[in-house]
Amino acid sequence: MTDQVELRKKRAGEKAVEWIEDGMTIGLGSGSTVYWTIKKLGELVNKGMKIKGVPSSIRTEGWANQFGVPLTDFQQGTELDLAIDGADEVDPSFHLIKGGGGSLVREKIVNAASKNLIIVVDESKVVSNLGEFGVPIEVVPFGWEVTERRISQMGCRSIQLRKSENEIYVSNNGNYILDCHFGYIENAMNLHAQLKQVVGVVETGLFIGMTDHVIVGKDNGVQVLRK
């Protein structure tokens, strides 16, 4: 990653803390942009801000511990005031593709439990149509090849079992991820609904109608997009 891309991510990630208020419980998303949010949040906590975070991945939990952001259990009754998360693609309706980092299921659970969702991205993630990145789909390992075949019959141009260093990538939930390319997606809500009908699919990386604001890190500053 170039220094310029990293700077854009830093700008977007840090800006998001402006929405955080004392006493809030915050959903902490995953990825290298949210890293900057968590780092900045740690500085605010060190200065006396009282918040609690709910991490959406083991990696995020590690960053929260590293920067001194207090965490709370995500259990029945936990209400989130705000969630801050990254994305792989954001379209003009604020629909998202997520899951590039493999944390889509926990991210979706955390984001869905929050009153507000802010997405932090560098400007390369803002697209006019979702699809080029591909759709990560988390599937149960048992019978995954059968699930893969069903998905590939749904107009998928290419489908790949995610690997990491030549080993099958296993999510924080013990599942596999299929990276599926459908070309440009005309109706993300329909595609998501169809994929969810396939037995073996746990969740898709299509996040529809969840986002309130998008913070875009640019070369010359930061832009806040509101619905």
The residues that touch ligand 5RP, with contacts defined as CB under 6 A, are 29-33, 85-88, 98-104, 107
Tell me if residue 107 is catalytic. yes
Closer to ligand 5RP at the Cβ: 13 or 200?
13
Nearest to ligand 5RP of 58, 146 (CB atom): 58
Query: How far apart, in whole angstroms, are the C-alpha atoms of residue 91 and residue 93?
Result: 5
DSSP 10-40: HHHHHHGGGG--TT-EEEE--STTHHHHHHH
User: Which one is catalytic: 14, 61, 107, 148?
Assistant: 107
At closest approach, how far in Å is the CB of 120 from ligand 5RP?
Answer: 7
**Rounded Cα–Cα distance for residues 33 and 82 (Å):** 17
85 assigned ligand-binding residue = yes
Is there a binding annotation on residue 122? Answer: no
Task: Compute the least distance from the CB of residue 5 to ligand 5RP, in Å.
Answer: 9
* 86 annotated binding-site participant: yes
Phi, psi of 157 (to 5 degrees): -80, -35
Which residue is at the shortest CB distance from ligand 5RP?
A: 31
CB of 61 to ligand 5RP, least distance (A): 14
Report yes or no: 219 and 225 within 8 Å, Cβ to Cβ: no
101 vs 131, beta carbon nearer ligand 5RP: 101
Is 31 annotated in a binding site? The answer is yes
Residues 6+ apart with CB under 8 A from 32: 1, 6, 9, 86
Q: Exposure pattern of 148-161 as b/e (b: 16+ CB <10 Å)?
A: bebbeeeebeebee
In 76-129 the beta strands, taken as DSSP E runs, fall at 82-85, 89-90, 96-97, 117-122
Q: Closest approach of Cβ 22 to ligand 5RP, in Å?
A: 26
Residue 87, annotated as binding a ligand: yes
User: For residue 82, which phi and psi values (nearest 5 degrees)?
Assistant: -155, 140
The residue (of 150 and 213) whose beta carbon lies closer to ligand 5RP is: 213
Indicate which residues carry an active-site annotation.
Answer: 107
Cite the annotated binding site for substrate by residue number: 30-33, 85-88, 98-101, 125
